[in-house]
Amino acid sequence: MEKIKMSRREAMRHVKFWLFILPAVLGFLCFSAYPLVRSLLLSFTDAPLIPDPDYPAQFIGFENFERIFAIDMTLNFGPALFYTLIFALLHVPIIMAISLGLALILNKDLPCSGFFRVVFYLPALLPAVGMSIMFRWLFTPGSDGFINSWLQSVGVENPPLWLGAGSGWLGLFTILIMSLWGFGSKMIIFLAALKNVPRDLYEAASLDGASPWQQFCRITLPMISPIFFYNLMLTVIAALQLFNESLIVGGTTKQTTFVVLYIYNTAYTGANPRLGYASALAWVLFLVIGVFTVIQFAIKRKVAYYEN
Amino acid sequence: MTGPVLAKRSEKLLLHEKKYYVRAAGHVLLLVLITLLLFLPLIALLLMSFKSDNDLLFYNYALFPHEWTFDNYYNVFNLQGGTRLNFFGSIGNTALITVCSLIGTVFTSALCAYGFTRFRVRENPVVFSVLFAGTMIPSQVLQIPMYEVYYTLNWIDTFWPFIVPSFFGGGILNIFLMREFMRGITPSMFEAAEIDGAGELRMFLQLALPLSVPVLVTVGIFTFQGSWNDFYGPLLYISSPENYTLALAVYQFSTNFNSYTGSMSTMTPWNLIAAVNILSMLPIILLYSFGQRYFIEGISLGSVKG
């Protein structure tokens, strides 16, 4: 009797568990699982953005993927992917170094370090649209832009073309510069990690005569390595998915048309928006991001230090 | 014997202290310089918003306005000719979306977090991991089919695509944050309530929720910021100007200013754009100045546990 009662109670616990988490489960099914499967299916069709009742989308096999690798690799997608990777390759180490370096400084008992922590985080929270438009104003070539009109006023004859037609590689560097304004969130994460490193480790090390650099390499880095990789992973994924800056500041040259902007253009804009083809592109991007994530997980497993 | 030794030691200490202060001063100087560099563009933008049209034409390069004017802020709300900016309208739309998704996210993520905290059943960790894996999918992959869904539901150019998803758990990362917090509530409190005959829903509403207020505020603040700043969503799903959110309105206004101002001039009205931009940033700056503690605690907690 008692046993049956217990198991009924246990069963009720299962029911209650599922009832409480029902919104998240439904949300996962509707907004993650379904679109994931559906986009894979779409990538094998020629579906347009707006369904045409007269011409239902056709299953075209691997045609989209063949097109990506045979034609688009030299046309648009290849360059978009290439410049996105170059951007990520530059952006990730620079922003990681800045945020870790400043976190190390703020972690010392300096006057007003609380103030600087708060202030450095603010630009990362401001609307990306507003920030991008601001940088567009600063960097617009010609007398319209703030930086170049100032350069001209101090006598620079031909100020650089930061953006737009003819900017070439400089356009990518302009986006790189503005992307650094968001270092605050990464710095806060590093600071949280540094606060958790036991102080007595440093005391013991300095008694043994370890230099600050040795302490950083042998104590700080290993102790924060799990969060370092967490931060790195988020930064890499965000860099590969950069969109707002590419749309608002770039987009007019190959060097500033990043992958997500190209996918957006293919799926939603132009005279012939192609949902099916864009799905295939998005899946290729998914695979690229997946490869990077797996590599980072592998390195993390080998390098990262965990207690216990 | 001890006298000279002590003196020597304190001399050494003094030297050490002096070194420490010099180094600290150097660090603070560096931090001040970085702060200036970081905020110079924003200050330039703020000053730009007070420049007159005359200033724009002749003193474009100057940081400070020659003649200070509030005309740009006045004009933002009273634009004549062409399509109106509809600034108030877009603020209203954004506020509506933000409030709805705030309610949905905070309530349903708390509900789910309670479920994950209270019921340590066998499938609990597996379900959580599966839900968590969903965050690894790039949003571009998911958004393309969602456009199809919203099109079929006739939700394009409405606010439903921004509000409805938030009522379905509000994102696993928020659930994660709340679960970490609720795990800190002593289990004996629930046991006591259970003995007193409280139902599960009542325990959630009257015990777990009031005790979790700090984390509810953290999640709420991040939801507010994300919802207010959201640009990609409105860019995809909103097409008519009367439904623009603030971010979309600011974008459209800044890139197609001629259709708003009705002018044929090739000069970009950056002073007006700057004013619009500053106004769109203000709510976030206000939110941050009152709730920065929650922002910083939230992001720190998420990373240390994650």
Q: Distance (Å, rounded) from C-alpha B23 to C-alpha B29?
A: 10
pLDDT above 80 for B291 = yes
In the A/B pair of chains, how many CB contacts fall below 8 A?
258
Q: CB of B218 within 8 A of CB of B298?
A: yes
Q: Find where tokens 């007019």 sit.
A: A252
pLDDT above 70 for B11 = no
For residue A220, how far is the Cα from the chain centroid?
Answer: 25
If asked whether residues B69 and B85 sit together in one domain, one would say: no
For residue A121, how far is the Cα from the chain centroid?
Answer: 17
HSE-up of A110 (CA within 13 Å, CB side)? Answer: 24
Q: CB of B240 within 8 A of CB of B154?
A: no
Assign a CATH topology to domain A75-303: MetI-like fold (1.10.3720)
- CA distance, residue A224 to nearest chain B CA (Å): 10
If asked whether residues B182 and B61 sit together in one domain, one would say: no
Q: Which two tokens stand for residue B289?
A: 């100045």
pLDDT above 90 for A288 = yes
**Which residues in chain A are closer than 8 Å to B225, comparing Cβ atoms?**
125
Q: Distance (Å, rounded) from C-alpha B226 to C-alpha B233?
A: 11
Instruction: Give the residue, B14 or A122, on which the prediction is more confident.
Output: A122
pLDDT above 60 for A154 = yes
Q: Which two tokens stand for residue A98?
A: 């800045």
Which of B262, B31, B125 lies closest to A107 in space, CA to CA? B31
- pLDDT of A110: 82
- Mutation choice for B interface testing from A134, A249, A275 by most B CBs within 10 A: A134
HSE-up of B10 (CA within 13 Å, CB side)? Answer: 5
For range B243-266, the mean pLDDT: 76
Q: Distance (Å, rounded) from C-alpha B194 to C-alpha B202?
A: 10
Residue-averaged pLDDT of chain B: 86
If asked whether residues B172 and B142 sit together in one domain, one would say: yes
Q: Distance (Å, rounded) from C-alpha A13 to C-alpha B25?
A: 59
Which of B203, B105, B122, B207 lies closest to A18 in space, CA to CA? B122
Residue in A23, A193, A285 closest to B304 by CB:
A193
For range B188-209, the mean pLDDT: 89
Which of B76, B102, B124 is where one domain is finished? B76
Which of B51, B76, B101 is where one domain is finished? B76
Q: Distance (Å, rounded) from C-alpha B163 to C-alpha B245?
A: 13
**Which residues in chain A are closer than 8 Å to B281, comparing Cβ atoms?**
126-127, 130
CB-based burial label for A109 (10 Å; 0-12, 13-18, 19+): exposed
If asked whether residues B45 and B145 sit together in one domain, one would say: no
Per residue in B111-157, pLDDT (tens digit) is 999 999 999 999 999 999 999 988 889 998 999 999 999 999 999 99
Q: CB of A151 within 8 A of CB of A159?
A: yes
- pLDDT of B81: 44
Number of domains in chain B: 2
Structural domain spans, chain A: 1-41, 75-303
Q: Distance (Å, rounded) from C-alpha B274 to C-alpha B259?
A: 17
For range A87-101, the mean pLDDT: 97
pLDDT above 80 for B50 = yes
Residue in A36, A110, A133 closest to B254 by CB:
A133
Q: Which two tokens stand for residue B47?
A: 């000053």
Q: Which two tokens stand for residue A37?
A: 């499967």
Q: CB of A276 within 8 A of CB of A283?
A: no
Which of B76, B99, B133 is where one domain is finished? B76
For range A254-262, the mean pLDDT: 94
Per-residue confidence band for B8, with pLDDT thresholds at 50, 70 and 90: low
- Mutation choice for B interface testing from A19, A21, A45 by most B CBs within 10 A: A21
CATH of the domain at B109: 1.10.3720.10
Q: What is the 3-state secondary structure (H, E, C) of chain B?
A: CHHHHHHHHHHHHHHHHHHHHHHHHHHHHHHHHHHHHHHHHHHHHHHHCCECHHHHHHCCCCCCCCCECCHHHHHHHCCCCCCCCCHHHHHHHHHHHHHHHHHHHHHHHHHHHHHHHHCCCCCHHHHHHHHHHHHHCCHHHHHHHHHHHHHHCCCCCCCHHHHHHHHCCCCHHHHHHHHHHHCCCCHHHHHHHHHCCCCHHHHHHHHHHHHCHHHHHHHHHHHHHHHHHCCHHHHHHCCCHHHCCHHHHHHHHHHCHHHHHCCCCCCCCHHHHHHHHHHHHHHHHHHHHHHHHHHHHHHHHHHHHC
Instruction: Give the residue, B56 or B162, on which the prediction is more confident.
Output: B162
pLDDT above 80 for A157 = yes
Element (H, E) at A196: none
Q: Does the distance separating the beta carbons of B119 and A188 come in below 8 Å?
A: no
If asked whether residues B104 and B64 sit together in one domain, one would say: no
Angle between helix B270-305 and helix B246-255 axes, rounded to 10 deg? 140
Per-residue confidence band for B1, with pLDDT thresholds at 50, 70 and 90: very low
If asked whether residues B144 and B213 sit together in one domain, one would say: yes
Which domain covers residue B52, as residue numbers? 2-76
Per residue in B207-239, pLDDT (tens digit) is 999 999 999 999 999 899 999 999 999 999 998
**Which residues in chain B are closer than 8 Å to A111, comparing Cβ atoms?**
24, 28
- pLDDT of A2: 57
CB-based burial label for A247 (10 Å; 0-12, 13-18, 19+): buried
For range B90-104, the mean pLDDT: 94
Residue-averaged pLDDT of chain A: 90
Q: CB of A165 within 8 A of CB of A253?
A: yes
Q: Which two tokens stand for residue A138?
A: 């600063």
Q: Which two tokens stand for residue A159?
A: 């100020």
CA angle, residues A252, B63, B271, in degrees to nearest 5: 55
Q: Does the distance separating the beta carbons of A13 and B288 come in below 8 Å?
A: no
Q: Distance (Å, rounded) from C-alpha A140 to C-alpha B61?
A: 13
Q: Does the distance separating the beta carbons of B136 and A129 come in below 8 Å?
A: no
If asked whether residues B147 and B289 sit together in one domain, one would say: yes
For range B45-51, the mean pLDDT: 93
Q: Distance (Å, rounded) from C-alpha A248 to C-alpha A129?
A: 8
Q: Distance (Å, rounded) from C-alpha B76 to C-alpha B280?
A: 11
Q: Distance (Å, rounded) from C-alpha B89 to C-alpha B246?
A: 9
